[in-house]
Amino acid sequence: MALLCAVTETDFPAPPADRPGPKRRFSPLLFVMILLAVVGVGAGGYGFWTLMSYRMVSVPGGGMAPTIQPGAVVLYRWTSLPEIPRGAVVLMEVSAFPDSSPADGRIVKRVIGVGGDQVVCCTNDNLIAVNGKPVKEPYTEDDNGYGRKEYRPFSVQVPPGAVFVVGDQRNNSRDSRIYVGMPGDGAVPLSKVVGVVVGLGSVLAADPFPQTTAFVEAGLPGDPVSDTGFRTSRNLALGGAGLVAVGVIGAIVIVVRSAGKRRRAAAIPPTR
């Protein structure tokens, strides 16, 4: 009996204390991945947003050959246009012409006269003259590289807030020349101009559109259109998307690996 009483609770060893699990440490690499994703969202979002000011359109006819071949896709800047320089190629509503309706759609033409200009065809060298200055147009479909086979002479005063447009293939183009003598004299109100062509090709693959300096070289004021912003926007959009992909995938890999390490560490039995 005395022997049994000698064995007490204090004779048994205390249970081992709970072993703390592995400490979670913040990963600098995870921070970098998150930062990449955040920067990518900002850059890509800005690129996509600014890219929305550009649109694509297919040019079905041959009136702008050889500059724009039939079926080619062009990129135009979709924005309000308070002023358009001479020589710019624009997308316009066909309904600007007297014998047309909104159902006729849109066409692409070149501006050869702006508000206040006197446009005359043609000089003895078969050139158009703007405000008395002959303009050599090397982009037209012609025989000698400068002149053209104009099928009708014309002389027009372009009213303010309008432009006078023609096709580069002058003998196969529905443009302002046909409507000289009719109401408006063929001039296209700026409200009927949808945008200025700035690129050849789709939004993600367009090259800058070749802008002419023919009117500046003729001594007329106004600089050619210069807009390669779509390239910057495209690079930001694609680069931002790439950064987001790298950041998200990298963060997932880091988190998964870190969780695996913690599980393996927790599975190791405590040492006695």
Over residues 185-191, the mean pLDDT reads: 92
Tokens 């002419």, located at residue? 212
Over the chain, what is the mean pLDDT? 81
- 225: pLDDT confidence band, cut at 50, 70 and 90? confident
SS3 assignment for the chain: CHHHHHCCHHHCCCCCCCCCCCCCCCCHHHHHHHHHHHHHHHHHHHHHHHHCCEEEEEECCCCCCCCCCCCEEEEEEECCCCCCCCCCEEEEEHHHCCCCCHHHCEEEEEEEEECCCEEEECCCCCCEEECCEEECCCCCCCCCCCCCCCCCCEEEECCCCEEEEECCCCCCCCCHHHHECECCCCCEEHHHEEEEEEEECCCCCCEECCCCCHHHHCCCCCCCCCCCHHHHHHHHHHHHHHHHHHHHHHHHHHHHHHHHHHHHHHHCCCCC
**Widest pairwise Cα distance in the chain:** 140
87 has pLDDT over 90: yes
What pLDDT was estimated at residue 217? 93
Residues 6+ apart with CB under 8 A from 118: 130, 131, 132, 155, 156, 157, 158
Per-residue pLDDT tens digits for 196-205: 999 998 888 8
Are residues 164 and 186 in contact, defined by beta-carbon separation less than 8 angstroms? yes
What pLDDT was estimated at residue 226? 75
Q: What span, in angstroms and rounded, lies between the C-alpha atoms of 269 and 271?
A: 7
Strand partners, 155: 120
Over residues 165-173, the mean pLDDT reads: 87
Question: CATH classification of 57-230, choosing from 2.60.120.10, 3.40.50.2000, 2.10.109.10, 2.60.120.20?
Answer: 2.10.109.10
What pLDDT was estimated at residue 53? 83
